[in-house]
A and B are shown apart, each in its own frame.
Chain A
Amino acid sequence: MVEETLVKRVSTVLSQSFYMIVEEVKSIYKTKTFVVFAVLMFLPVQLILVSYATSQYPQLLFEVEKAFFLNGILEEGVIDAFSDAFASAMGILIIRRGFIQASLGATTYYINIPIIAIVTLLTCGLVAAEREKGTLPVYVSKPVYRTQLVLTKFAAFALVSFALTALAYSTVYFTYALTLLGPLGMLFTGLPETISMLLVLIFFTWIFILDIGAITSLFSSIIDRSILAGVTSLIILLLLSILPNMLVIFAGVGIASFTKYFNIPDLINQLIDFYSLGFVEYYQNMWLIIKQTGFFSQIIISRMIDPGTALIIVILLIVIPLISACLITEKREVK
């Protein structure tokens, strides 16, 4: 037997991993869970967007009118000349407020529990299902590192979930922008003003999905039965996202200084808020909240976290569980 050089081994492993990811992606598309995932990604966002935009329309109209009036544009006889500008401004405002706020609401308040549930379901079998089925012994007795198996499966999941998230939000965004601004308006006014918001929304929703996926993968490598792994991580993730808020209500605001670091939906919510609004607007909003008194503003203030810290936490919550899952799979015997 001829020993390979390190370079050759690395290149073999990399090309092999690439082919493995391709095959995994192909196989994910054929699962039923994936279809449910896709539907859940699309439907709620759309429903909430439509209802939000309809309910908020008078308020937004008022704000735009006020802005035009203050700028002297809305004087008699001038309205017609600026009707296009008025429509654009209205459209952009709806996209900015309506789309982003509604999607934000959708991501963090309405679909966060369905997302947690479906992502858990989709990733709980990452290692456990192969153990259960008895295919893991076959795979790991081939010339392949176990870490490769875990990482390529996760990478395939990451790719698919990114495509789905991007598709779900872009579809809604472009439908919205096209109806409100028209093709030209969307291209020259809408996109430059609001595209960064869309990207931020897609990116952090994806990070949220990866967090859930990585944590579930960890349980999947520890627990032999995939359904048990899924339920365990589902319970833990739901507790992490619900318990902190409940604790704050029952045990006082002080507890949030500790629990806020583990509330993943809340971290993501704040990150989307921060990066889509921008530094100035974000802190202006915060300032408005701080100025208010009352219990709920207290809760919001108590949960505030520095965006940099939040970003590091949500990324570590992907990396650490994933590395642990790899190490555990490497070390554990395959019975």
Chain B
Amino acid sequence: MNAVAIRGLRKVFGRFVALHEVNLEVPEGVCFGFLGPNGSGKTTTIKIILGLLEPDGGEVYVFGRKAGSYEVRRRIGYLPERIEYHNHVLCVDFLKYVGILNHMKPSKAERTARDILVWVGLEGWEDQPIGTLSAGMKQRLGLAQALMGDPDLIILDEPTSNLDPIGRKEILDKVKELASEGKTIFFSSHILSEVETVSDYVGIIFHGRTIKQGRLHDIKRELIRRKAEKYELVVDKTSEVLSILTEKGVEAHVEGDRIIMFASNPGFLERLIPKVLVDADAQLMKFTPVGDTLQEVFLQLVSEVSLEEGESG
């Protein structure tokens, strides 16, 4: 069963269409990375999944039930993108309250709260007012809060924004740990490298439309295959290699100490280059497709969509 299933979701704020058509399927037990640039509709989608916002069209199901229903809310933990706390409240009291909201008895809620605080690395801060915590600690408190009540689905909305690299790593490590325990994690971010490190599934949203989803590995491979027409080659005998390449009809030029080549069909250059190197008796230092990072793949996807939108509009 899918933890989250969204079909044809549409949401309008006044005259602004926030979500045109979002389709998502998040299988149970995966760490799902929900990717998109700022303003693409990630938070809106999440709030609809939680039942905080009403959809204007389409269907949203969480664990097979209507999103936002009482039964569903028992199984969800949520960390919002922006959360401030009442500064005078103690960490443990805040978590205890959240535990009570999750139908826990106060004594059990307090015990669980203390355990979770230790787990997120806030040991010794349990009885301190939230106001004394640093930004990174507050974010870990937010994560702790999302874990109260042992939810099956954990929704984290940009958990690493506003954090320094160390804070980021701490949060991501915890997310990885949760994922390895078999929890379903729905993780939104606009930073691709983050998603790459923790997620196995991704969905990409842009301008209120999901433009791609599936296994991260598959998406990356497919896109790189489609995109990788530009290659970069670094050898010791640059001019000789270049002349052989031009003879063989490859479109190539030199940029600094690198040779930039364009392949007409995939796999062609991979087979050709070894022969060229042997012919020129050159030593290979680097041969790589340009733009194999997810960042560039993402940018390309987004630019394709913008182009289509421009044409249709």
| Bound together | yes
A residues engaging B (CB < 8 A)? Answer: 1, 3, 12, 16, 19-20, 22-23, 26-27, 30-31, 129, 132-135, 137-145, 333-335
Q: Is the CB of B52 within 8 A of A141?
A: yes
Kindly state whether residue B16 has any CB partner on chain A within 8 Å.
no
For B, the interface residue count at a CB cutoff of 8 angstroms equals 35
Looking at the assembled complex, report how far the CB atom of B64 sits from the nearest CB atom of chain A, in whole angstroms: 9
A163 to B103, alpha carbons, bound, how many Å?
28
In the complex, are the beta carbons of A139 and B101 less than 8 A apart? Answer: yes
Between-chain CB contacts (< 8 Å), 13 pairs? A1-B65, A3-B71, A16-B101, A137-B52, A137-B78, A141-B73, A143-B73, A143-B74, A143-B101, A144-B101, A145-B70, A334-B52, A334-B53
The 5 closest A-B pairs by CB, nearest first: A142-B101, A334-B52, A134-B83, A143-B74, A133-B84
A138–B97 touching, CB < 8 Å: no
Which residues of the other chain, A, contact B52 by a CB distance below 8 angstroms? 137, 140-141, 333-335
Whether A23 contacts B97 by the Cβ 8 Å rule is yes
Q: Is the pair A143, B53 in contact by a Cβ cutoff of 8 Å?
A: no
Asked whether B70 lies within 8 Å of A143 as measured between CB atoms, the reply is: yes
Q: Which of B65-109 contact A (CB under 8 A)?
A: 65, 70-71, 73-74, 76, 78-80, 82-86, 88-89, 93, 96-98, 100-103, 105-106
Residues in A whose Cβ lies below 8 Å from that of B41: none
- The answer to whether B85 touches A19, judged by C-beta atoms less than 8 angstroms apart, is no
B50 to A: closest C-beta gap in Å = 4
| B83 interface neighbour in A1, A23, A133, A143, Cβ under 8 Å | A133
Q: Which residues of chain A are near B89, meaning CB under 8 Å?
A: 27, 30
Which residues of the partner chain A approach B84 to less than 8 Å between Cβ atoms? 132-135
- Known A-B contacts A1-B71, A22-B106, A143-B101; A138 and B86 likewise in contact (beta carbons under 8 Å): no
B98 touches A333 (CB 8 A): no
Picked from B47, B50, B86, B103, the residue with its CB within 8 Å of the CB of A133 is: B86
- Interchain nearest-CB distance for A20 vs B (Å): 6
Interface contact A133-B93, CB-CB below 8 Å: no
Could you tell me the distance in whole angstroms from the C-beta of A217 to the nearest C-beta in chain B?
Answer: 17
Determine which of A23, A129, A133, A134 lies in contact with B96 in the assembled complex, contact meaning CB atoms within 8 Å.
Answer: A23
In the complex, which residue of chain A has the Cβ closest to the Cβ of B73?
A: A143
Cα separation A31 to B87 with both chains bound (whole Å):
10
Give the docked Cα–Cα distance between A229 and B33 (Å).
Answer: 38
Q: Which residues of A contact B88 (CB under 8 A)?
A: 27, 30-31
**Counting CB contacts under 8 A, is B145 at the interface?**
yes
Q: Which residue of B lies closest to A20 (CB)?
A: B100
Structural contact, A19 and B100, CB atoms closer than 8 A: yes
Which residues of B lie under 8 Å from residue A145 when comparing CB positions?
70
User: In the docked arrangement, what's the CA distance between A139 and B79, Å?
Assistant: 11
Q: Smallest Cβ distance from B298 to chain A, in angstroms? A: 27
- Is B149 an interface position by the 8 A CB rule? yes
Residues A137 and B73 in contact, CB atoms below 8 Å apart: no
User: CB-CB < 8 A to B167: which residues of A?
Assistant: none
CB distance from A227 to the nearest CB of B (A): 15
Report B-chain residues with C-beta under 8 Å of the C-beta of A135.
83-86
With a cutoff of 8 Å between Cβ atoms, the chain A residues found around residue B83 in the complex are 133-135, 137-138
- Is there contact, CB below 8 Å, between B80 and A138? yes
- Besides A1-B71, A16-B103, A135-B85, 6 other CB < 8 A contacts? A23-B97, A133-B84, A138-B79, A138-B145, A142-B73, A333-B53
Indicate if the CB atoms of A138 and B96 lie closer than 8 Å: no
Q: Which of A133, A141, A144 contacts B76 (CB 8 A)?
A: A141
